A and B are shown apart, each in its own frame.
Chain A
Amino acid sequence: MISGMDEFARQSDAELLHLALGGQESAFRLLYERLKGGIFRYAFYMTNSKSAAEEVTQEVFLSLFREGSKYRAELGDVAGFAFGIARNFIRRIERREGAYQPFPNDGALEELSASLCSESEVLPARMIRDELVARVQRAVSSLPDHYKQAVVLCDLCELSYEEAACRLDCAVGTIRSRLSRAHALLAQKLKPLKRAQPEIGAAGPEGCMI
């Protein structure tokens, strides 16, 4: 998707959008290349689902063409506009998927986590790592939406506070305080795992053989 895009390389996102709406495919492709990674990552972190992230990314660029004429540069950058579309799609997906809630069996989760930790020396490191990732993902997902948005944008998508504030249409101080509160909540949610870990050494692999 690189050929033919050089001529537009110096154009801003807004100009590219304008050209893309006029049917300039190269402009659209360049704009897509600039935005797709951020949107895909944001959608993935918000949904924890690759297929949902793909769906959101595809819908965002469809809508960008359909609704692009509504974009106003004075209200923010194109990335922010696309982010707004993505956010709406993610909410729609969450409402749709909300009908299928997992069983509220947190105890089982702790047990699984502890057992995986206790078997750390016999299980491949990758499995433990995957479990840890899943655990942190679940903790992030369980945050209230405004905290989750702050964590996803600042900690995971690595946006600056200013950019995150612009995306969420709030003050930088609000982002800072939400992030601080979100970190405290996450630390609290991840504590059980930390407590389980010291027992690993004590039990040792022999404990699993019994």
Chain B
Amino acid sequence: MTCEELRLYFEDPLLRDNEFRPEAEHLAHCADCARFVETQRELGAGLRLIRESVPRFPAVLDEAVLANYRRQVASAADPSRSARARQRWASLGWSVVAVAAVIVVTALLSLPGRRPLVQKESHEPAIVSTSPSPHTQSTTAIKTQPVHSAENRAVERPAMQPGIMREHSVAADFRSLIYCDELSCGGPLAVIRVQLPASDVALTPASNSGTDTVLADVLVGSDGIARGIRIVQ
């Protein structure tokens, strides 16, 4: 046996565990191999001790694993349960969103600069006098809707400051319906979107589109009288 063969032999743990009887003659003459065999035997004994020292498998673990399995199977077999749980979470989420929205709206309403505008926007049905001609029937049929678009708010802002409304100062795209000066047009104005018969509002070329009704924004003063009109569609 050569040194090489002896070391190869020890590389296989299965062989190492067997009774190994290397040629006594070789070990007697080769101190390196004798040391190597001794070390390997001690290491093998140590590893064998570790192998034997593994604790007994705990019986409670069997029960725990089985209980986990049953729980998983039950939840997998009952999709309605998980759906209900999802629903619960979803409704909770929506509730949170709703509460947050209420808080934000309340905060916005409580801002001092916004109060008059908001009050105006939650207006009562407007009485719009579109023209001096007797169109009371059409005004009763007016559909009003709150105006919330940023574009309209931009129009309203200058109108909310008293004293700046003059006839020529009605916002550029609004057509004046009555004479406006500091005295008659002072105070906040509101924009109300209305739907009117097209025949009644022959103000701009856009109104002659041939449709039966037109959408228009009407500037209304705090006295309920319309100051200006803008054809939207």
Q: Which residues in A have some Cβ–Cβ distance to B below 8 Å?
A: 1, 20, 23, 25, 28-29, 32, 36-37, 40-41, 44-45, 50, 53-54, 57-58, 61-62, 65-66, 129, 132-133, 135-137, 139-140, 151, 154-156, 158, 160, 176, 179-180, 183, 186-187, 190, 194
Contact = CB atoms under 8 A, between A and B. Distances in A.
Nearest to A129: B49
A132 B154 CA distance: 86
A32 B57 CA distance: 13
Nearest to A28: B69
Given A41-B54, A62-B68, A180-B11, 10 more contacts: A25-B70, A36-B65, A40-B54, A57-B65, A129-B49, A136-B50, A139-B46, A154-B13, A179-B11, A194-B42
B55 A132 contact: no
A1 B42 contact: no
B72 interface: yes
A140 B47 CA distance: 9
Q: Chain B interface: which size bin?
A: 20 to 34
Contacts of B51: 155-156, 158
A126 to B, nearest CB: 11
Given A136-B49, A180-B11, A37 B57 contact: yes
Q: Closest 6 CB pairs between A and B? A: A136-B46, A187-B39, A155-B47, A61-B65, A133-B49, A133-B53
A28 B14 CA distance: 32
B73 interface: yes
B66 interface: yes
A34 to B, nearest CB: 13
A99 B22 CA distance: 47
B46 A29 contact: no
8 contacts: A29-B66, A36-B65, A58-B64, A62-B68, A129-B49, A133-B53, A155-B51, A183-B10
Given A155-B13, A190-B43, A137 B69 contact: no
A133 B50 contact: yes
Interface string B67-109: 0111011001100000000000000000000000000000000
Given A25-B70, A176-B11, A183-B43, A1 B62 contact: yes
Given A25-B69, A54-B61, A137-B50, A183 B55 contact: no
